[in-house]
Structure 1
Amino acid sequence: MIFIENEGITDPRINLALEEYALRNFGKNEDYLLFYINEPSIIIGRNQNTLEEINDEYVRENDINVVRRASGGGAVYHDQGNLNFSFITNYKKENLNNFKKFTRPVIHVLQKMGVDAEMSGRNDLLVGDRKISGNAQFSTGKRMFSHGTLLFDTDLDEVTHALNVKMSKIESKGHKSVRSRVANISEFIDDNIDVYEFRSRLLHGLFEERETFDRYRLTDEEWEKVHELKDEKYGNWDWNYGNSPKFNIQRSRRFSAGEIDLRLDVEDGYIDNMKIYGDFFGVEPVEVVEERLQGIRYEPYVLEQVISDIDLEQYFGKIHEDDFLELIYGSDK
């Protein structure tokens, strides 16, 4: 097995691009191991509705990255107290969803550190009844990776804040994350070490039965390809937000001008259909507003620009732009 050096990069968009690049381009007869630590981020499962999984207002205010990964499963919070591992191997049918095989060596090293970890359910590692790791997989049909988190010294309060969903009345075809009781591995280790020392001990533990192990450093040309993939995919709004499954929103609110009842469909991150009902008084037909917002990207800054060009009073009576934006999108802007 060859260990891939990620050169200490903490940008989740680059790390996920590196993982996919290695999967698709590195030696087909070799197994690889990749470690990476990300700056504060929410990593969304491939089949999830991003907006349903995050506290969007909190994420924006705190500059938390939101990136969709290639594998399925639920949304997870990463910070620099969380170590991520990825085993990249040839695809074998018997290895798909076989999380026990890929986590077994990790569990072995953790237990040698005094952490009584065990596999639980389909893809989690627990100490007692507290979750310390979640795992997921992705396959191209020829190659696959099985990757997971290891909560070592993560800010668990941030997990709650960043993943606390505030959007109302969303009916989604995506899969909701399961909120689990979580714990940091550092709670179960007597030594006062940081995540980087933990990373070093885990790495050497995984390779303890080998006299030597190879380390691979990407060439400048390979890093260029990784950054291209980051720009085209993992740093792209359409991948991170627009790839969300279609979902429907219904919100109503009473203003001084009357009640506005809003119904809209969002598909691929864009408003696909909108209908507005209510007992408000307007001079102009509300269908004009519906048409103006049709096909608009469902993101507060984009919506704000469009709404600022509409004379809302002509359609609804006296209503402030910020209030109408909040009705469409939620509590933030």
Structure 2
Amino acid sequence: MIFIDNNGHTDPRLNLALEEYVLRNFSPTQDYLMFYINEPSIIIGRNQNTLEEINHQYVEDHNIHVVRRISGGGAVYHDFGNLNFSFITKHDGTRLSNFEKFTAPVIRVLRNLGLDAALKGRNDIQVVEKKISGTAQFSTGKRMVSHGTLLYDTDLGEVVNALNVKMSKIQSKGHKSVRSRVANISDYLERSLSIEDFRKLLLEGLYEGNEPFEEYRLTAEEWQGVRELKQEKYDTWDWNYGRSPRFNIQRTKRFPLGEVDLRIFVEKGRIKDFKIYGDFFGKEPLEDLEKLFLGIRYIKEDISSVLQEIYITPYFGSLPKNDFIDLIYGEDEEGVKI
């Protein structure tokens, strides 16, 4: 197995692009191992509805990256206290969904460090009934990636804040995350280690009893290929948000002028249908307002842009425009998921 050095990059978009580039372009007969640490970010599973998994306002306010990965599973939070590992190997028809095979060497190292670690459920590593690692897989048919997180010294409060979804009444076909009780590996160690020291021990432990491992550094040309993949895919709204499964949203609120009830249908991140109901008194036909939203991205920026030059009082009465925008794309205290 060859260890690939990621040059200490912490941009999650670049690290995920590097992982996919190695999967699709490196030798099909060789196995590879990668480690990487990401800046604060939420990594979304391939089949998830991004908006249903994140606290969007909190993510924006705190400059947290939101990036979709190529593998399935649930959304996870990364920061500088989280170490990510990735095995890139051949796919022989039996390895996919065999999480035990790829977590076993990691569990062995953790046990050598004094942790009572074990694989629980399908793909989680736990210590004392608390999750310290989650894993996921993806296959191209001939090659596969098995990657996972290791919560070493993560800010667990941020895990709750960033993934505490407040968008109410979303009905989606996306695969929703299941929140588990989590803990940091550092809490169980008998001696204090930096995440860099932990990474070194893990790397040495993974190769214990084997031939000395080979370390590989990408060429300038290969890094250029990685950056092009990042730009074309992982930097784009279409990949990170637009690939979300179709979903329906109902947003209802009572204002002094009456109740406003919105029904919004979103597909691939864009509004396909938009209907307004309620017991308010307006003069202009709502159809004229509704059609303005068709085809736009379901993000606050685009919604605000549509309404920038629109005077909405004739449609509703005295309704502040910002209140209407917040109703279309805002957050409330209902439907909180942790």
| Shared fold, TM over 0.5 | yes
Q: For 1:74, give the aligned amino acid.
A: G
- In the alignment, the residues of structure 2 paired with residue 217 and residue 281 of structure 1 have an alpha-carbon distance, to the nearest angstrom, of 67
> Residue 86 in 1 paired to residue 106 in 2?
no
> Residue 273 in 1 paired to residue 273 in 2?
yes
Mapped contact 2:168–2:331 kept (Cα < 8 A): no
Cα offset, 1:316, TM superposition: 1.1
Name structure 1 gaps, 5 residues minimum: none
Matched residue count = 332
Cα offset, 1:283, TM superposition: 2.0
Cα offset, 1:211, TM superposition: 4.0
Q: Deviations over 1:93-113 (max 9, x none)?
A: 110100000011111111111
Q: For 1:314, give the aligned amino acid.
A: P
- In the alignment, the residues of structure 1 paired with residue 302 and residue 264 of structure 2 have an alpha-carbon distance, to the nearest angstrom, of 16
Q: Secondary structure at the match of 1:146?
A: strand
- In the alignment, the residues of structure 1 paired with residue 72 and residue 27 of structure 2 have an alpha-carbon distance, to the nearest angstrom, of 25
Residue 262 (structure 2) aligns with: 262
Residue 299 (structure 1) aligns with: 299
Please, which moves more after superposition, 205-214 or 102-111?
A: 205-214
Residue 336 (structure 2) aligns with: none
> Residue 184 in 1 paired to residue 188 in 2?
no
> Residue 95 in 1 paired to residue 103 in 2?
no
Per the normalisation by structure 1, the TM-score is: 0.98
Residue 330 (structure 2) aligns with: 330
Residue 47 (structure 1) aligns with: 47
Residue 240 (structure 1) aligns with: 240
Cα offset, 1:257, TM superposition: 2.4
Residue 317 (structure 1) aligns with: 317
Name structure 2 gaps, 5 residues minimum: 333-338
Q: Secondary structure at the match of 1:94?
A: coil
Structure 1 stretches of at least 4 aligned residues deviating more than 2 Å after TM superposition: none
Q: Identity across aligned pairs (percent)?
A: 64
Cα offset, 1:177, TM superposition: 0.5
Mapped contact 1:308–1:321 kept (Cα < 8 A): no
Q: How does 1:1-333 map to 2 (within 5 A)?
A: 1-331=1-331
- In the alignment, the residues of structure 2 paired with residue 55 and residue 108 of structure 1 have an alpha-carbon distance, to the nearest angstrom, of 36
Q: Secondary structure at the match of 2:178?
A: coil
- In the alignment, the residues of structure 1 paired with residue 104 and residue 260 of structure 2 have an alpha-carbon distance, to the nearest angstrom, of 55
- In the alignment, the residues of structure 2 paired with residue 129 and residue 107 of structure 1 have an alpha-carbon distance, to the nearest angstrom, of 15
Q: Deviations over 1:108-128 (max 9, x none)?
A: 111111111101110000012
Cα offset, 1:258, TM superposition: 2.1
Per the normalisation by structure 2, the TM-score is: 0.97
Mapped contact 1:263–1:276 kept (Cα < 8 A): yes
